[in-house]
Amino acid sequence: MRATIMYKPYDVGIENVPDAAIQEPTDAVIRIVRACICGSDLWFYRDGPANDHQSMGHEAIGIVEDVGSAVRTVKPGQLVIMPFVYSDGSCLFCGEGLQTACVHGGTFGVGGEAQGAQAEALRIPYADGTLYPLPVEPDEALMPSLLSLSDVMGTGHHAAVTARVQPGGTVAVVGDGAVGLCGVIAAKRLGAEQIIIMGHHDERIALAQEFGATDVVRERGEEGIARVRELTGGYGVKSVLECVGTGQAIETSIGIVRPGGAVGRVGVAHYESLPGPDTFFRNVTISGGPAPVRAYIEDLLPDVMAGTIQPGRVFDSTIGLDGVPDGYRAMDERQSLKVLIRP
Amino acid sequence: MRATIMYKPYDVGIENVPDAAIQEPTDAVIRIVRACICGSDLWFYRDGPANDHQSMGHEAIGIVEDVGSAVRTVKPGQLVIMPFVYSDGSCLFCGEGLQTACVHGGTFGVGGEAQGAQAEALRIPYADGTLYPLPVEPDEALMPSLLSLSDVMGTGHHAAVTARVQPGGTVAVVGDGAVGLCGVIAAKRLGAEQIIIMGHHDERIALAQEFGATDVVRERGEEGIARVRELTGGYGVKSVLECVGTGQAIETSIGIVRPGGAVGRVGVAHYESLPGPDTFFRNVTISGGPAPVRAYIEDLLPDVMAGTIQPGRVFDSTIGLDGVPDGYRAMDERQSLKVLIRP
């Protein structure tokens, strides 16, 4: 079968690899129906892969082809969402809905034991705990939004939840990438009254406004902080959705959150530390981390099915597997917001 | 009148100062009935005062002597709790119950505009927003616990609230000082099942156990972290009450919190930074700050009145104003846990 392999910085290709196959009785194999490229894949693209032959991709919808002898709930033929981590479904953390901390879990396509989803098929460990069977047949129009539940929409939602977005609340979303845009959707869905998008790409900002952003701040750094304060009576916002993961993004987030407010972090942390005394004296809460998207599907799926949220709109280009190297290039150069793959 | 003045490190004395008097129409003057020395006063005692003549003390119960022309709800003769910060009672933050962020607020006895409560009397800015009139006459047995609502018990409660203590939850309290012991009371009151006290003073640990601590960890640093993990099936606790404020205490707190758990910080932050990636990848929430004790009195007072919680037991010695210098010495040398003052 064909799969996406990262060789070195800026060098990703498609090659033939051994077919995905059951290895453990709790495994399934899925045929990938849709996959995509994540902003976090670009860290590997820019900084280099985790190993010299990294299988890429951690977001997918698939059809179950085969299941191991111990798989109980997942059946061949089902259309399933594959969250970006696998999880046993039975440990303490899975029981609490924090599958990203599963004691037997791991992430797809980051150089660990599990291969990547930018491929024709994929072995899924702990199929019952990992896969979410969908109550629908493949539906062309719905597929992008369903796919977003495997990572990007659940991640934006996690930012909103951990930033404690409340009805009537004031929110800022740091970053106008696909996660930030899904953060806008999530904040609007949870009833925020003021949603400030911080970014500077015209098309993305326009989409953020369609999703519910009420204000736009294009400035960065100290100027951006000052502008958000201006827009909030000098106080700052109650909830900040940090959707980038750089040191500057976290500084901005802490600069714009008001006393008693919360920062929900979902940008993969590429900074070493958080300020101690400033956050203490202002009673700022810092929360977030890798999103337990498996737990959020239940909440978000009805709104996707009903079309009341349309996170699939973050995909602005569709390619086949052969187009994946160009897809990485386009996202790296910001010519594309998020690339959808039909293997 | 007489008041406590800090001159330089390890040099605190009682001197005559001008009588407390109304300056603004929103002021009151209270006669101090009980005050005390706080663990946070010891930072000034050891590191030096904020200015060369720092008026000390920020916890008190008093009787209202005089009120300004704009004071509406507070009346002369009332017995009142004086929270450690003054607050206007009408700003955005006061409305949300975060009086420690009041836009016109400040802290008593830390070298700012407001004088200290280790004195015979004190001017109270924004009397209506600041003071909490008590529904009782001075009652000898209840006074220590009522006094604790001005800071130490409310602060322990804030640690528990921001650490998201839940019924049946697992909790660790870092520090066996008076705030830590009140944290144990608060965790027990909120229904925690396992409460681990981390400290190494026999008498304080014994009191923590009377207050509801189920386990004791005397080790510090890496050993202490390992021991808490042993006591919690290897996972760590869901809620950490950080009641010290040193770098080692925050390191321990983050080392013992489990994925998805929360650290509620109330020890005044004497560390520069918090770890970024580790807390991110484990979905750890860091919260807390100066406790809005004014907002918590409503919750805690009925339990104090009923005697179901007895935070006043943290006071292990009682002195007059003349004894204050000795009181600082005794607390600094850990001969006393917390000193109560009857001016």
Please report the DSSP string for A112-146 in residue order: SSS--SSBSEEEESSHHHH-EE-SS---TTTHHHH
Whether B163 and chain A come into contact, CB under 8 Å, resolves to no
A287/B285 Cβ within 8 A = yes
Classify domain B153-288 at the CATH class level.
Answer: alpha beta
A vs B, Cβ pairs < 8 A, gives: 111
Candidate from B96, B273, B292 with C-beta closest to A275: B273
Cα distance between residue B229 and residue B222, in whole Å: 11
Q: What is the pLDDT of residue A136?
A: 83
The helix/strand/coil state of A247 is helix
In 3D, which of A114, A138, A129, A126 has the Cα closest to residue A61?
A: A138
SS (H, E, C) B59-90: CEEEEEEEECCCCCCCCCCCEEEECCEECCCC
- Segment A21-28 mean pLDDT: 98
Mean pLDDT of B303-328: 97
The H or E element containing residue A132 is strand A132-133
Check if B43 contacts A (Cβ < 8 Å): no
B261 touches chain A (CB under 8 A): no
What is the average per-residue pLDDT within B288-315? Answer: 97
Chain B positions in Cβ-Cβ contact with residue A235 (cut-off 8 Å):
92
CATH entry 3.40.50.720 includes domain A155-288: yes
CA distance B265 to B279: 15
**Is A284 in CB contact (< 8 Å) with chain B?**
yes
Interatomic CA distance for residues B221 and B226, integer angstroms: 9
Q: Which residue in A92, A283, A286 is closest to B100 by CB distance? A: A283
Strand-pair partners of A31: A63, A121
Chain B, 292 to 321: residues with Cβ < 8 Å from chain A are 292
B74 pLDDT more than 80: yes
Nearest chain A CA: its distance from B332 CA (Å): 23
Residues whose CB is less than 8 angstroms from the CB of residue B267 and which lie 6 or more positions away in sequence, other chains included = B174, B175, B179, B242, B243, B244, B245, B246, B249
Shortest CB distance from B283 goes to which of A272, A280, A289? Answer: A289
Residue A140: HSE in the Cβ half-sphere, 13 Å Cα cutoff? 1
Q: Chain B closest CA to A92's CA: distance in Å? A: 9
Tokens coding B108 = 């008593």
Cα torsion at B86, B164, A259, A208 (round to 10°)?
A: -160
Instruction: Tell me the chain B residues in contact with residue A272 when contact means C-beta distances shorter than 8 Å.
Output: 273, 275-277
Q: B286 and A274: CB-CB below 8 Å?
A: yes
Residues of chain B with Cβ-Cβ distance to A96 below 8 Å are 260
Asked if A289 lies within 8 A of B289 by C-beta distance, the reply is no
Average pLDDT over residues A56-83: 98
Confidence of residue A137 (pLDDT cuts 50, 70, 90): confident
* Chain A residues with CB-CB distance to B286 below 8 A: 274, 279, 285-287
- pLDDT tens digits for range A257-269: 999 999 999 999 9
- Given a contact cutoff of 8 angstroms between Cβ atoms, the answer to whether B29 and B121 are in contact is yes
Residue B48 has pLDDT above 80, yes or no: yes
The shortest CB-CB distance from A273 to any of B262, B273, B283 is to: B273
* Residue A139: band (very low, low, confident or very high) from pLDDT cuts 50, 70, 90: confident
What are A318's two structure tokens? 């569709």
Contacts of A289 in chain B (CB under 8 A): 279-284
> Residue A297: pLDDT above 80?
yes
* pLDDT band for position B205 (cuts 50, 70, 90): very high
- Look over chain A and give the mean of its residue pLDDT values, rounded to a whole number: 97
Q: DSSP class of residue B36? A: E
Distance CA A49, CA A59 (A): 18
Work out the end-to-end distance of chain A between its first and last CA atoms, rounded to an integer number of angstroms: 11
- B101 reaches A (C-beta below 8 A): yes
Q: B152: how many CB neighbours lie within 10 A of its CB?
A: 32
Domains A2-151+292-341 and A155-288 are alike in CATH topology: no
**How many residues in chain B?**
343
Interface residue A91 vs chain B (CB under 8 A): no
Q: Identify from B102, B279, B283 which residue to disrupt to test chain A contact, counting A C-beta atoms within 10 A and taking the largest count.
A: B283
Give the confidence band of B286 by pLDDT, cuts at 50, 70, 90: very high
CA B118 to chain centre: 15
Q: B200 to chain A, minimum CA–CA distance in Å?
A: 26
Structure tokens at A304: 């996707």
B250 reaches A (C-beta below 8 A): yes
Task: Give, in degrees to the nearest 5, the angle at Cα A197 between A196 and A199.
Answer: 145
A214 Cβ neighbours under 8 A, 6+ residues apart:
A193, A194, A195, A196
> Is the pLDDT score of B138 beyond 90?
no
Q: Does B112 touch chain A (CB under 8 A)?
A: no
The token pair that represents A63 in the structure block: 């059809």
A260: chain B residues, CB-CB within 8 Å: 93, 96, 98, 101
Output the pLDDT for position A174.
Answer: 98
* Contact across the interface for A279 and B277, Cβ inside 8 Å: no
Question: Among partner residues A235, A280, A292, which is closest to B265 by beta-carbon distance?
Answer: A280
- Pick from B93, B273, B282: CB nearest A276: B273
Structure tokens at B217: 């960890």
**Could you report the predicted ipTM of this complex, rounded to two decimals?**
0.96
Distance from CA of A275 to the nearest CA of B (A): 5
* DSSP summary character for residue B303: H
In this prediction, residue B191 carries a pLDDT of 98
Q: Is A234 touching B (CB cutoff 8 A)?
A: no
**A159 contact B CB<8A:** no
DSSP-based helix, strand, coil % in chain A, nearest 5: 35, 25, 40
Residue B64, pLDDT > 90, answer: yes
- In chain A, whose CA is at the least distance from the CA of B277? A269
> pLDDT tens-digit profile of A172-204?
999 999 999 999 999 999 999 999 999 999 999
The answer to whether A39 faces chain B, any CB pair under 8 Å, is no
* pLDDT tier, A138 (very low <50, low <70, confident <90, very high otherwise): confident
Which residues of chain B are within 8 Å of residue A100 when distances are taken between CB atoms?
259, 283
pLDDT recorded at residue B137: 80
Domain ranges (residues) in chain A: 2-151+292-341, 155-288
For residue B7, what pLDDT is reported? 97
User: Contact A259/B101, CB-based, under 8 Å?
Assistant: yes
pLDDT at A208: 98
B1-26 pLDDT tens trace: 999 999 999 999 999 999 999 999 99
Minimum distance, in Å, between the CA of residue A146 and any CA atom of chain B: 25
CA distances from B21 to A171, B26, B28, B124, B211 (A): 44, 12, 8, 9, 40
Q: How far is B95 from chain A (nearest CA, A)?
A: 12
Across chain B, mean pLDDT equals 97
**Domain B2-151+292-341: top CATH class:** alpha beta
Asked if pLDDT for residue B149 goes beyond 80, the answer is: yes
- Contact with chain B for residue A287, Cβ under 8 A: yes
Q: What is the pLDDT of residue B82?
A: 98
